[in-house]
Structure 1
Amino acid sequence: MRLAQFLEENRGDIQDRWVNRVLDSYAGDAATIFKREDDRFANPVGYTTRHTLTTVYTLLFDQSDRPGPDLEQVRAELETFIKIRAVQTFTPASAVAFIYDLKTVVREAAARERALEATPQDWERFHDNLDALALVVFDLYMASRERLFKAQLNEIKTMNHMLTQHGCSAAGLADKTTQLMADVKPLHTHSNEAR
């Protein structure tokens, strides 16, 4: 069995292992919750991860006559998933590591398959596709992070952070006025001497 056929016939198992490995990258109880709940509204991170990775796998290893995957279609599919990872507390390397997780999952699955007769060219094509995908993912991640930083900078420039911290634009002024009033000593207009 050639590698392309192996990837097609073992699609479900490889996809499940890949999704679980990616969801395991979340800390503690989050990974358990993301794996357990399938509802897209109750679990948007888990749903998006599962949906995106299974679709990307299909786009990567489609048995068509094309020499490689349609990277623009893959990019469009990955955009929302990468935006989610860009706002989370992942390092850049951790955010894009899910591509390399697929290499590991496929290598482990291939080691268990005795009938696999993959040529060096098969493996070269497989790695080339994932390397091209990694570059797409990195570009998407950096574009998402740049948009995030620009939004934060714009918020600071327009002083909108004052609105969110204090509830309204006058609240910060009211806090300062209250502090000034507390520091003022009361004046007595009628002294004891005047009586």
Structure 2
Amino acid sequence: MNLVQKMSERKEDLAAKWYDIVLSSYPVETQKIWKANNDRFTNPVGITIKKVTSELLDLILEWKNADAIAQSLDELVKIRTVQEFAPSKALSFVFLFKKLMRDEFMEELKKEGKLDELLAFEARIDNLGLIAFDIYTKNRDLIAQMRIEEVKRSHHMLLRRVNKIEDASAKGAGQV
């Protein structure tokens, strides 16, 4: 049995462990709340993380549809982008998945003389990291642009108020 088949057999377990890895980057109290609450309306972030880790695992195992992988990855990366994580921490979940694969399969594959399968699979994870980085930078750029636009709007509104005050002062001064 090859690595992908072994992973497919243990998909639910691996997805749960990856979910735990992602959650471990949050405070302990947040982890407890997100793990205990399965309502997508009161726990949208926790449920999205759980859904995406499971979905991504399926897509990584198939490794056929880059658009689907990017779309699924985008959901999780967006969350981590707006949470103001440092880039390395925001994307660490991708590379920690590689560690998970090593912890779960390295010894077994070493005994079977199939470490090349693990290395080949790790290349998928590295590519996933590159896709995640592209998504992260796109989202950070979008957030920066939104902040710039908000400052421009605020500045424009402030100037409009100042001009109204000046107009009112000028009118009031002329009627004295």
Instruction: Verify same fold: TM over 0.5.
Output: yes
Q: 1:32, CA displacement in angstroms? A: 1.3
Look up the equivalent residue of 2:125 and give its one-letter code: L
Q: Which runs of 4+ in 1 moved over 6 A?
A: 160-163
Return the TM-score normalized by structure 1.
0.75
Matching residue within 58, 68, 71 for 2:66: 71
User: Is 1:147–2:146 an aligned residue pair?
Assistant: no
Unaligned stretches of 5+ in structure 1? 63-67, 164-168, 175-195
Higher relative contact order (CA 8 A, sep 6+): 1
Identity %: 30
Q: Which of 111, 118, 123 is the aligned partner of 1:123?
A: 118
**Are 1:101 and 2:81 counterparts?**
no
Distance 2:73 2:156 in 1: 31
Deviations 1:22-69 (CA, angstroms, capped at 9, x unpaired): 11111231111111111111101100000011001001113xxxxx44
Q: RMSD across aligned C-alpha pairs, in angstroms? A: 2.6
The yes-or-no answer on 1:134 pairing with 2:134 is: no
Measure, in 2, the Cα distance between the counterparts of 1:79 and 1:160.
Answer: 32
Following TM superposition, by how much is the alpha carbon of 1:124 offset from its aligned partner in structure 2, in angstroms?
2.3
Cα deviation digits, residues 108-163 of structure 1 (max 9, x gap): 12257589736233122201111111000000011001000000011111217978
Whether the 8 Å CA contact 1:69–1:129 is kept in 2: the answer is: no
Letter in 2 for 1:138: F
- The residue type equivalent to 1:13 in the other structure is D
Partners of 1:29 and 1:20 lie apart in 2 by 14
CA distance in 1 between counterparts of 2:59 and 2:118 reads 17
Report how many aligned residue pairs link the two structures. 163
Residue 56 of structure 2: aligned partner: 56
Distance 1:42 1:111, change over 3 A: same
* Structure 2: segments with no counterpart, 5+ residues: 166-176
TM-score, with normalisation over the residues of structure 2?
A: 0.82
Query: Structure 1 counterpart of 2:136, which letter?
Result: Y
Structure 2 counterparts to residues 1-195 of structure 1, below 5 A: 1-62=1-62, 68-111=63-106, 113=108, 117=112, 119-159=114-154
Question: Structure 2: which amino acid aligns with 1:60?
Answer: I
SS in 2 for 1:5: helix
Larger helix proportion, structure 1 or 2?
A: 2
The one-letter code sitting in structure 2 at the alignment partner of 1:128 is A
